[in-house]
């Protein structure tokens, strides 16, 4: 293509502020994939699946952003290591500010789980972070771009219900489908609920 032809080309469409939309998924793709639990649903210490819902049967270690099952946390406590992370042995932070400092350090390193966690802090206004849905949306978009399935799920929920963004059910479903074909249990549940309705 010559320079003159390039100059007459229409300008490329700008990417929306909320980031690129995941590709559409067929029902066959959705039903034939996603039968393995993704990373974060098995304990990194004992390598066993964590019972669902994961948040009730494990804890997130903010130093290394690993979900460690309650059994491994208990074993660590019984061995006298209760004041440190069961996975990386970093001393457990005692304040919200210390937790936030550890998370921000991991966010600066572009850790998708840390970015997703910080988005949750902004969304709910936890650990001395001012509630800001637009900042949470931006962070979830970045984490989704980096491959975090929880971020796709949260974006799907925001768009599906129109929480802090213009309601776009199709976009919400596509975010959930993207996570569901990779085995994300909450996304598969949300899609099942949508189909049931």
Of 104, 105, 79, 102, which Cα lies nearest the Cα of 91?
A: 102
Query: Is the overall model pTM greater than 0.85, yes or no?
Result: no
What pLDDT does 4 receive? 42
**Predicted pLDDT of residue 13:** 32
3-class DSSP state for residue 68? Answer: strand
CA nearest neighbour of 96 among 57, 129, 127: 127
- Name 120's Cβ contacts closer than 8 Å, sequence gap at least 6: 126, 136, 154
Residue 19 has a pLDDT of 60
From first to last of its 197 residues, what are the pLDDT tens digits of the chain?
Answer: 343 444 443 333 333 345 667 777 888 888 888 888 898 899 999 999 999 999 999 999 999 999 999 999 999 999 999 889 999 999 988 888 899 999 999 999 999 999 999 999 999 998 888 999 999 999 999 999 999 999 999 999 999 999 989 999 999 999 999 999 999 999 999 999 998 88
Domains, the chain, in order of start with CATH, read 35-92 (3.30.40), 93-196 (1.25.40.10)
């Amino acid at each position: 293509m010559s320079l003159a032809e390039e100059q007459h080309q229409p300008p490329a469409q700008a990417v929306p502020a909320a980031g690129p939309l995941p590709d559409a998924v067929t029902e066959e793709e959705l039903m034939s994939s996603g039968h393995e639990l993704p990373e974060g649903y098995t304990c990194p210490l004992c390598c066993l699946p964590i019972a669902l819902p994961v948040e009730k049967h494990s804890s997130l270690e903010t130093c290394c952003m690993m979900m460690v099952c309650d059994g491994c946390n208990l074993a660590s406590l019984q061995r006298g290591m209760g004041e440190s992370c069961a996975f990386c042995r970093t001393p457990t932070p005692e304040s919200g500010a210390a937790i936030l400092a550890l998370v921000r350090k991991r966010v600066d390193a572009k850790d998708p789980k840390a970015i997703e966690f910080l988005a949750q802090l902004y969304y709910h206004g936890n650990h001395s972070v001012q509630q800001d849905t637009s900042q949470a949306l931006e962070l979830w978009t970045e984490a989704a771009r980096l491959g975090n399935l929880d971020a796709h799920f949260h974006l799907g929920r925001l768009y599906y219900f129109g929480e802090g963004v213009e309601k776009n059910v199709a976009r919400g479903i596509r975010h959930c489908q993207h996570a569901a074909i990779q085995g994300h249990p909450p996304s598969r549940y949300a899609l099942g609920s949508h189909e049931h309705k």
